[in-house]
Structure 1
Amino acid sequence: MTTTKSILAVGSIALDSLETVEGNRTEILGGSSTYFGLAVSLFSPVSLVGVVGNDFPQEGWDLFSNKKIDTKNVQVESGKTFQWGGRYSDDYSTRDTLFTDLGVFENFQPSISEEYKKTQFLFLGNIQPDLQLNVANQMDEAKTIVCDTMNLWIDLCPERLWDVIKSVNIFLLNDEEAIQLTQKVNIYDAANQLLDNGPSVVIIKQGKNGALLAYDDVRIHIPVFPVNKLVDPTGAGDSFAGGFIGHLVNHGNNDFIEAVITGSAVASFTVSGFGVDGLLAADMDSIQKRKDIIRASMENFKNV
């Protein structure tokens, strides 16, 4: 577990109930750690940090095992697994939360076993900033810390979130969150402010419009893969992060443009099915084909 290619991820493991124009699903596997873990496991071994209740379905454990995802740091507590329900508008432009039942996640205190504290890559999923800091402070030698967040934490505890931002190498958020957090008028100014506050790389996700990658003097827009049918966007951001980090682990810690292309390709599978179904259809060959298409669209844009 102390190899340079090991990845540790902290976040939620949940059961989601979803309503979209394509149909409904009830209590299917979800959560930021779940999507990230399944995505990054395509590239590298990964260990999850999280908590579930004693109602967590066996098929969830079986899936993690089949994908060789390490769950030794996933606590099992008496009570209910975190559940979330959401409804997407017909054009997927908005999402309403129908219910949130934190269950055992409400009192979650991450605990990292000693053998994992030298893990070199750490992903902090979009959980409470205090929990993110808790995990980051337990890690002895993480050379790359990647952090995601969400608008809830910008609303509730922006100061603590800024503390997290100062302690990470790579920070991810979406365009609305970037504007809300920085109070800037556009994502380029938002990226500049974020870079001035700690991270060396900032990625601002723009949904169907791609992502802005910002580091050093580079500001580059990277498009998404054009999926034939959007089914369920849940977990796309975490899947993106999994593909992004998976590429960095395998190909070097500075290949950011190609890493974002990889993240976009992986996320395109997630949105093509309910829950994790679309992501489970991905393999390295199909990911590479989608990366080639994304890269070609970037070249075409340059030549216009």
Structure 2
Amino acid sequence: MNNNNTLIVGSIGLDTIETVSDRKESILGGSATYATIAAGKSASVHLVGIIGDDFPINGMKIFEESTVDLSNLDQKEGKTFSWGGKYAEDWDNRETLFTELGVFNDFNPILTDKNKEVPVIFLANIHPLLQLSVLNQCNKRKHVIIDTMNLWIDTEREKLKEVISSCDVLLINEFEAEQFTRRKDHDDQGTVLQSLGPQNIIIKCGSKGARLYSGHRVDTVGVFPVKNVVDPTGAGDAFGGGLAASIANGETMIESIINGAALASLTIEGFGIDAIYNASINEVEKRKEHLRTTLNS
């Protein structure tokens, strides 16, 4: 097994996305999808997910290109998970139009022996019980990165705490961090979250960049200036995938955040996966160069 193997677990879906200027139906989406395409640019991805019998052939081709292992990509009879969202003109407010779980309702991954040995694990935004179930099967884990969302903070707080205590990198946005810690100050949020166990807390602050709390140190990374936002869907998932890939490649936490931020900035320049899927390594590197200049500035 290569040294840069990364296990990615999350949702795979067909999204309907509506913006002020356009609407796309049944395009490839889901947290694991964005994370896999991002991570696959520099790491060896083992994808864990579930799809229905309606999943498009081009989606399978994209996964085959972006991964080294699809043994835990289960295809079941029924509909693939689907989600619909509508964005306001300022991009800050998103309305969920529908969520249809389909076969994802029965998602209960049993890892193959090979996948149990992958050292870097990214648990994308799924139910904390599913995250724990996968984590308990991984017997050679070196790094565990988890992402979450406001729904699980509201409904599964104790289970989420259990997951957080088992990871060494927590990804959380500034609104979720306030919701979870009941603190308004980012530094206070970082302290509370670190007390649960993770060595590294990454608070995503949208257009203000990201903050890393690692030990007693605080670092900040800015954003790449995107001139034309097309669709913000999946940016956070791409960030997580890029972060996990760099960690798997032995890069520092700061460099890993920079890689994640570069890939997130690409994601929002196209509908669904289009921009990140088509992005060249040169373009990613160019954005990373810019992001390095924003460190602690």
Range into which the TM-score falls when normalised by the shorter chain: over 0.9
Please name the residue that 1:22 is paired with.
21
Deviating more after overlay: 160-169 vs 60-69: 60-69
How far has the Cα of 1:69 moved from its partner? 4.7
Shift of 1:245: 1.6
Q: How many residues are matched?
A: 297
CA drift of 1:246 comes to 1.5
TM-score, normalisation: structure 1:
0.95
Partner of 1:146: 145
Question: Where does the alignment leave 5 or more consecutive residues of structure 1 unmatched?
Answer: none
The one-letter amino acid paired with 1:26 is E
Instruction: Trace 1:2-151 onto structure 2 (pairs within 5 A).
Output: 2-151=1-150
- Counterpart residue number, 2:276: 279
**Which residue is equivalent to 2:292?**
295
Asked if the contact 2:35/2:238 (under 8 Å) is kept, the reply is yes
Unaligned runs of 5+ in 2: none
CA distance in 1, matches of 2:67, 2:109: 21
Q: TM-score, normalised by structure 2?
A: 0.97
Structure 1 pair 147/282, CA: closer, same or farther in 2 (3 Å)? same
The SS at the match of 1:99 is strand
Aligned equivalents of 1:82 and 1:39: distance in 2? 21
SS of residue paired to 1:33: helix
Does residue 1:179 correspond to 2:148, yes or no? Answer: no
Q: Which string of whole-angstrom CA distances, capped at 9 and with x for unpartnered residues, describes residues 213-259 of structure 1?
A: 1101111221110011111111101101111122222234xx11111
Q: Distance in 2 between matches of 1:111 and 1:298?
A: 40
Cα deviations by residue, 1:59-111 (Å, 9 ceiling, x for unpaired): 10011123345221011111100000001110101111000000011121111
Over aligned residues, Cα RMSD in angstroms?
A: 1.2
Is the partner of 1:297 in helix, strand or coil? Answer: coil
**1:145 corresponds to which letter in structure 2?**
V
Question: Counterparts of 2:21 and 2:253 in 1: how far apart (Å)?
Answer: 34
Q: CA deviation at 1:113?
A: 0.5
Query: 1:111-159: per-residue Cα shift (whole Å, max 9, x none)?
Result: 1001211110011010000000000000001110100001111111111
Query: What is the letter of the counterpart of residue 59 of structure 2?
Result: G
List aligned pairs for 1:236-247, cutoff 5 A: 236-247=235-246
Alpha-carbon separation, structure 1, partners of 2:227 and 2:69? 33
Q: What letter is aligned with 1:269? A: L
| Mapped contact 2:219–2:295 kept (Cα < 8 A) | no
Equivalent of residue 263 in structure 1, options 256, 260, 263:
260
> 1:49 deviation in Å?
0.6
Identity %: 42
1:287 aligned partner, one-letter code: V
8 Å contact kept, 1:118–1:142: yes
- Cα separation, partners in 2 of 1:31 and 1:69, compared to 1, 3 Å: farther
Aligned partners of 1:192 and 1:149: how far apart in 2?
A: 18
Residue type matched to 1:265 in 2? A
